[in-house]
Chains A and B, each alone.
Chain A
């Protein structure tokens, strides 16, 4: 068997999270206008300021055009054909997991995310978002004792309106971009976290996103605030059933790291990527940004293996002096997947530092673009950035593109950029096999080696997950 065949074999393992869960859902008909937003807001018992904000965002969105500068191609999206709300029917308050639809619990179990605390992942609190709403949050008690608020966004709007009102839209204003505006108007749920002054969050926090219903868009919103000197590590995972049509996921994540705080935000994104011919799959158009105040640190780590199209740039505004921003990314595109991803590091404060390590893997006919902006404003004396961008090509039909943008307005800044492109070839495989290592083991060894720098940034359990995921996602390539 040639190596190409073996890797194609690997390919056939396919997408393993592609099943559909049968649950009764409370769904709005497709289409979007102000009334839809009013209904949505009413269903969630939102305070008036939320509705106001949503409507402002909607009105602004109407004035915007869909962006076209990114290096991805897709069919036009009909925004009137999308359902903007779909929630599994359940009792409004989920005091215990026994009140959650058992079908949904089984779904998460199948995905390897047991929600029953007895079977919990060691020391990880999970907020599970099913289609548009949060269905369960675990470990609330323990977190509550530490003073950490970790709940669904809807709940936060009701129970902690002062925090939401204070921070919502301060990092990503609704006017930021087309998809952020849309999200601001229609977002249905998401996770909310507040870690008070000086508190080190006692466990990993995690949100697990699942798109289940057909024709729905998922528009969740995450807001995470680490108060002065606080620290938190947060992970999100994403999957969706296999469907022939494309589904839109336009999320917004806002991080606020106040003075001396530290936020580590990790993503393992495995939305349905579409089939080998490029049918179906999620359009993953996401705006993620953090604002880092004096002496704080925001670190993004992402492993992006899913979605038909990934288009996101988790960014850090280094506002305070001595703030630190990091971005570690593995993006894999296979078949006809497209990814245009990277980061923005905006240096405003003095002595701010940022690190970017991006690993792009292209296989099949996948296209992978790294697009990164390093911006050093005049105020950012002694700012430093280090960027490393590596691309790995598997096969002859895929592509890798590296587009660094560097804008430096302060002469004391130090900006470094390194880039490389290499190809996994017969040579590496033959070398491994000549030493007695099987072809499958050799491929996974080589790819995981390439990603090692990023995986080591992930929390332990998830690093192992990410490695497995990469093995499964590697479909049909290498020549």
Chain B
């Protein structure tokens, strides 16, 4: 079966600095892949490049999404095609209601697909249903987008948005970082509930802990802009035991330093 996401020899730079140095990755529909790696290994850059962040410059390689070139299109077109990025640092937009924001987004996506727009009442009904998934209450949904949310609330809001937008490819960039254990359980529960045959997920994480709650089909380890190891879940367990030290290169050194001093 052809992959839903197919990345070939992807190179990218930020502010003149090469960050991705030849990424190859195939993700099929229905699969969950985890990408792990130390600070600065290029995990978040990869997510940003796939979603179309303009500060990243692709210098080489190709990305096909559902067989079509992804890289040439602006971020909103990718979103409409079904690419969702769960942000590492979700952005605050004061004065813009969470629901208003999400309905605007959903209707933009529905228009693109030739579907009818949802009116405020139908949308509210649906949103309330989805919100239960991550235990967000109604008052919370009416606040401004991410404004004054705690770190944990922001991450739950990301998963809520994903549940409403029903993407075909979800890139979750460190959605587990900065979460207390209770919040992590909620977020992971939401992600697991959204696993589906026709949906692929790429879960980027810094901490092994996440994989106790989300069991990936494949695990990839990134270091210095490349995927240096790929394997099944056992690879994550190996990492847990050995840390990133054995990977070598810049990333390895960082991982080691981190281990020595909590």
Contact = CB atoms under 8 A, between A and B. Distances in A.
A435 B93 contact: no
Contact of B96 (A426, A446, A453): A446
8 contacts: A428-B93, A431-B91, A431-B93, A432-B105, A433-B79, A435-B161, A437-B105, A441-B104
Interface in B15-63: 51-55
A194 B75 CA distance: 56
Interface string B68-79: 000000111011
A445 interface: yes
A16 interface: no
Contacts of A434: 51-52, 75-76, 78-79, 84-85, 87
Interface string A429-465: 0111111111101000110111111000000000000
Contacts of A426: 54-55
A2 interface: yes
Given A441-B104, A445-B101, A436 B91 contact: no
B74 A435 contact: no
A1 B92 CA distance: 23
Contacts of A428: 91-93
B95 A450 contact: yes
Nearest to A3: B54
A438 B78 CA distance: 12
Interface in B73-113: 74-76, 78-80, 84-85, 87, 89-96, 101-102, 104-106, 108-109, 112
Given A434-B85, A436-B109, A449 B76 contact: no
A427 B71 CA distance: 19
Contacts, number: 81
B233 to A, nearest CB: 29
Contacts of A450: 94-95
**Would you call the interface of chain A mostly helix, strand, loop, or mixed?**
helix
Interface in A1-22: 1-3
A428 B90 CA distance: 9
B87 A431 contact: yes
B104 A445 contact: yes
A434 B84 CA distance: 7
Which of A2, A433, A434, A445 has the most chain B CB within a 10 Å cutoff?
A434
Contact of B95 (A3, A427, A437, A448): A448
B257 to A, nearest CB: 29
Which of A1, A445, A449 has the most chain B CB within a 10 Å cutoff?
A449
Which of B74, B89, B94, B108 has the most chain A CB within a 10 Å cutoff?
B94
B141 interface: no
A445 B93 CA distance: 9
Given A3-B54, A431-B87, A435-B101, 8 more contacts: A428-B91, A431-B91, A433-B75, A433-B76, A436-B76, A437-B101, A449-B96, A452-B95
Interface string A394-431: 00000000000000000000000000001000111011
Nearest to B146: A431
A57 to B, nearest CB: 43
Contacts of B104: 437, 441, 445
A428 B74 CA distance: 15
Contacts of B90: 431
Contacts of A431: 87, 90-91, 93
Contacts of B54: 2-3, 426, 430
B50 to A, nearest CB: 10
A432 B103 CA distance: 12
A430 B48 CA distance: 10
B95 A436 contact: no
A438 B108 contact: yes
Given A431-B87, A434-B75, A449 B144 contact: yes
B79 A436 contact: yes
A3 B74 CA distance: 11
